Amino acid sequence: MKRVILCLILLQFLWVGAASSFWIWTPESGRWTNPKYAAKDTPEEQLSFASSFFEAEDYKKALAEFKKLIKRYPKSKEAAEAQYYTGLTFENLDKLYEAHLAYQKLIEKYPFSEKIDEAIEQQYKIGERFMTDERKKILGIEIPVDRYAIEVFDDVIENAPYGEYASVAQYKIGLILKSLARFSEAKEEFEKVVLEYPQSEWVEAAKFQIALCTEKVSLTSAYDQQITQEAKGRFTEFVKAHPDAELTKEAHAQIEVLENREARSNFEIGEFYEKQKKIDSAKLYYEYVFTNFPMSQWGIKAFERHQVLEMQ
């Protein structure tokens, strides 16, 4: 029994000794602190300490030390610097969404930081990286990243509505939606580029994309000539406004496709009326086709059918 008591006393002594080697009483704070988890005495020292790990590419250690600075000295200018580097560190760890959130926290919590413009630039670059990756691990879960790219670009625009990256971020939201075949939504996003950033270098491309999206919408409405004509009008307007643009050749090709579709649609309506024995209506549609599209295959067919009906 005496031996058991002696062992327990010895174990308690060893535990206290071990604990005292990690925890130190600080009169300034009036509490025990563990040096392992404590920040340096000044924010400048802590920033330098954390940065040394970042420069050595020990990103996990750097992240922990930057977080210590932010927690211990939240109102210091070094805290803003640490918040920015937290974003960079997450990027180097290939945790893009976490990096975006870190930059967003800098912008919201430290709006007067000298790193704001750089943070917005980094957010834009993260959005671009999301656009090129089909899937990504977000907060540890592998998922498609289209909506995260849109979220990042939305934040870029909101953070600096008339900044360097606003108009191109707006344009790329349109591209993402277009790639998802959400053409009506994409068209609306491209229209924002034209309306909200009329002096932007992206206006020309946005107008072309608006025409393309209108054309894609018209594909789902074979007999809705209004949408097809709107798409053709958009391309025609683009050609007139930008006769020397690189996209003009493609615009001409799209106009030809749309005209062929419009001619075919009207010819088929004429056929429908002919089968219904509504000859006058059929002749009107055939006449429209060969008058407006005389050199197309549908124009030639429409003229032939019109002639047959005329002789009946």
* The two structure tokens encoding residue 302: 């429409």
Q: Is 140 left (phi over 0), alpha (psi -120 to 50) or beta?
A: left
Query: Which tokens is 105 given?
Result: 């926290």
Q: Output phi, psi for 31, to 5 deg.
A: -155, 165
Strands 135-138 and 141-144: antiparallel
Helix (H) or strand (E) holding 138: strand 135-138
Neighbours of 296 (CB within 10 A): 19
- Please identify which residue in the block is written with the tokens 């790193």: 115
Residue 152 to residue 215: CA distance in whole angstroms:
28
Cβ atoms within 10 Å, residue 218: 23
Q: Which residue reads 């067919």 in tokens?
A: 301
Strand, coil or helix: 203: helix
CATH class entry, domain 217-312: mainly alpha
Q: Tell me how far apart the alpha carbons of residues 79 and 63 are, in angstroms, rounded to a whole number.
A: 13
What CATH code is assigned to 41-160?
Answer: 1.25.40.10
Tokens of 229: 């004509």
Pairwise CA distance, residues 241 & 211, whole Å: 13
Q: What is the pLDDT along the chain (312 residues), one digit of tens a residue?
A: 555 454 544 445 444 444 444 545 455 555 545 555 677 889 999 999 999 999 999 999 999 999 999 999 999 999 999 999 999 999 999 999 999 999 999 999 999 999 999 999 999 999 999 988 765 555 555 556 688 999 999 999 999 999 999 999 999 999 999 999 999 999 999 999 999 999 999 999 999 899 889 888 877 655 456 777 777 777 787 777 777 677 777 777 777 777 777 778 788 888 888 788 888 888 888 888 778 788 788 888 888 888 878 777
Q: Where in the chain is the domain with CATH 1.25.40.10?
A: 41-160, 217-312
pLDDT, position 16: 45
User: Quick one: pLDDT at residue 188?
Assistant: 95
Which is nearest to 298 in space by CA: 257, 272, 260? Answer: 260
Q: Are 260 and 296 in contact (CB under 8 A)?
A: yes
